[in-house]
């Protein structure tokens, strides 16, 4: 593999790895920390500037590419600019909790920025909703994936681990299909997340914070839109859905359960609500430790990514449809086990309180 492809990964890793400990000290000094709560797993305040290390890793890792390999085109420039907007506002949110309406407004503005550059989902027939339908679906995709990665940032290594493997699978398909002008961005994100992970597992740890998880989610949602994943329209949309199957499942399942239990009624409440009802929480209810739950979820992510690679060069829509069906069945079975596990855990807690 050419050195110029590996270099952004190495540089982004070094920047993230070297700046993380420094940023941790600043986070403690400026009191940008995640305080323990009933729904959270940590027992002590944890610094939240890990996302800054990831952001710096990606931006600095991309600089040599932009200076010596290729110029910054309109869509990529729009994606990096909009991702920076998301990062800055989410970083402010880590320090002084912004309202859900403001966060939603900023996400909508960022989504419009990249759609205005020509980045959007293009697979609907012209006579089926046309441009308006594609704009709406693209908007839901960007907002959904962005917040889905924020959902995943609940246990050590999960959000960054999913980001690493999702970006890896995007890179493999891009490189395999000759889209070498796009491979640098997922590589830079892989390196930046790898550089952050050691600090996420140390005794004196740090978290990504909303600045990191929202930036990662928004950037990956944009990479999924930038790439040309197949010739067939069904396969084209199937590949990113499979690669991002885990965050999509967590977001969808959690939203359905919250709406069913009347915990949320609208998108603002959806953004505001925080509880221990995500994929990893259900797995922990089944008896898995934090690290075991993270490994289980990453393994599911890898399985889905392998399926995406297998069908990436297929030109038959039926393969894409069947693969999506297979993934849906797998996640459906997981959902059933999760619900049963939580029900059994609650019944056990009731028996323990009653002394049975």
**Distance (Å, whole) CA 271 – CA 294:** 23
Question: What average pLDDT does range 128-141 have in this prediction?
Answer: 79
pLDDT by residue (tens digit) across 88-109?
999 999 888 888 899 999 999 9
**Distance (Å, whole) CA 61 – CA 10:** 8
Residue 314 domain boundaries: 3-353
Contact 331, 245 (CB under 8 A): yes
Question: Phi/psi of residue 166, each to 5°?
Answer: -65, -45
Residues 6+ apart with CB under 8 A from 277: 254, 257, 258
Tokens of 312: 């990436």
Contact 159, 152 (CB under 8 A): yes
Residues 6+ apart with CB under 8 A from 317: 232, 233, 234, 235
**Distance (Å, whole) CA 247 – CA 191:** 20
Tokens 């040309």 locate to 228
Question: What average pLDDT does range 115-127 have in this prediction?
Answer: 74
Residues 6+ apart with CB under 8 A from 334: 249, 300
Residues 27, 28, 32, CA angle at the centre, nearest 5°?
50
pLDDT of 44: 73
pLDDT of 356: 58
Q: What does the buried/exposed string (b/e) look like for 264-287 if buried means 16 or more CB atoms within 10 Å of the residue's CB? A: beeeeebbeeeeebbbbbbbbbbe
**Distance (Å, whole) CA 164 – CA 158:** 10
Model pTM? Answer: 0.89
pLDDT of 341: 74
Q: How confident is the model at residue 126 (pLDDT cuts 50, 70, 90)?
A: low
pLDDT by residue (tens digit) across 254-297?
888 888 888 888 888 888 777 777 888 888 877 788 889 899 99
pLDDT by residue (tens digit) across 21-49?
999 999 988 888 877 665 556 567 788 89
pLDDT of 125: 54
- Specify which residues 33 forms β-bridges with: 47
pLDDT of 133: 78
Give the range among 39-53, 156-170, 200-214 with minimum mean pLDDT.
Answer: 39-53
Tokens of 238: 């199937």
Does the structure show a pLDDT above 90 at 2?
no
DSSP letters for 167-184: HHHHHHHHHHTT-TTSTH
pLDDT by residue (tens digit) across 320-341?
778 888 888 888 888 888 788 7
Mean model confidence pLDDT for the chain: 85
pLDDT of 83: 96
Does the structure show a pLDDT above 60 at 20?
yes
Contact 308, 236 (CB under 8 A): no
Does the structure show a pLDDT above 90 at 170?
yes
As a whole-number percent, the residues of the chain with pLDDT over 90 amount to 41
Give the range among 136-140, 192-196, 264-268 with minimum mean pLDDT.
Answer: 264-268
Q: Report how many domains make up the chain.
A: 1
Nearest C-alpha neighbor of 161 from the set 283, 54, 277, 57:
54
Does the structure show a pLDDT above 60 at 140?
yes
Give the range among 150-159, 215-224, 340-349 with minimum mean pLDDT.
Answer: 340-349
SS (H, E, C) 77-98: HHHHHHHHHHHHHHHHHHHHCC
CB burial class (10 A; 0-12, 13-18, 19+) of residue 218?
Answer: buried
pLDDT of 237: 84
- Specify which residues 106 forms β-bridges with: none
């Amino acid at each position: 593999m050419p050195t110029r492809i590996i270099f952004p990964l190495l540089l982004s890793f070094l920047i993230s790895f070297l700046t993380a400990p420094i940023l941790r000290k600043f986070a403690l000094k400026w009191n940008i920390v995640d305080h323990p709560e009933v729904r959270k797993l940590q027992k002590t305040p944890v610094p939240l500037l890990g996302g800054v290390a990831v952001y710096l890793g990606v931006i600095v890792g991309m600089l040599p590419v932009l200076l010596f390999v290729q110029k910054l085109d309109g869509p990529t420039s729009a994606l990096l600019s909009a991702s920076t907007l998301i990062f800055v506002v989410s970083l402010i949110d880590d320090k002084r909790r912004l309202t859900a309406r403001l966060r939603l407004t900023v996400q909508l503005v960022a989504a419009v920025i990249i759609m205005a550059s020509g980045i959007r989902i293009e697979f609907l027939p012209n006579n089926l909703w046309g441009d308006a339908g594609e704009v709406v679906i693209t908007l839901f995709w960007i907002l959904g994936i962005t917040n889905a990665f924020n959902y995943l940032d609940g246990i050590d290594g999960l959000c960054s681990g999913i980001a690493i493997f999702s970006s890896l699978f995007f890179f493999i398909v891009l490189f395999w299909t000759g889209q070498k002008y796009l491979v640098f961005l997922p590589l830079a994100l892989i390196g930046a997340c790898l550089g952050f992970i050691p600090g996420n597992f140390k005794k004196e740890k740090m978290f990504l914070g909303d600045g990191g998880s929202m930036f990662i989610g928004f950037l990956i949602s944009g990479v999924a839109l930038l790439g040309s994943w197949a010739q067939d329209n069904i396969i084209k949309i199937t590949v990113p859905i499979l690669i991002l199957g885990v965050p999509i499942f967590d977001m969808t399942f959690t939203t359905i359960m919250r709406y069913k239990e009347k915990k949320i009624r609208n998108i603002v409440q959806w953004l505001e609500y925080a509880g221990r009802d995500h994929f990893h929480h259900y797995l922990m209810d089944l008896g898995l430790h934090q690290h075991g739950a993270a490994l289980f979820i990453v393994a599911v992510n890898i399985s889905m990514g392998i399926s995406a690679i297998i069908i990436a060069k297929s030109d038959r829509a039926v393969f894409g449809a069947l693969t999506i069906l297979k993934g849906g069945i797998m996640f459906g079975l997981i959902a059933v086990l999760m619900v049963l596990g939580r029900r059994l855990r609650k019944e056990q807690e009731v028996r323990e309180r009653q002394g049975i």
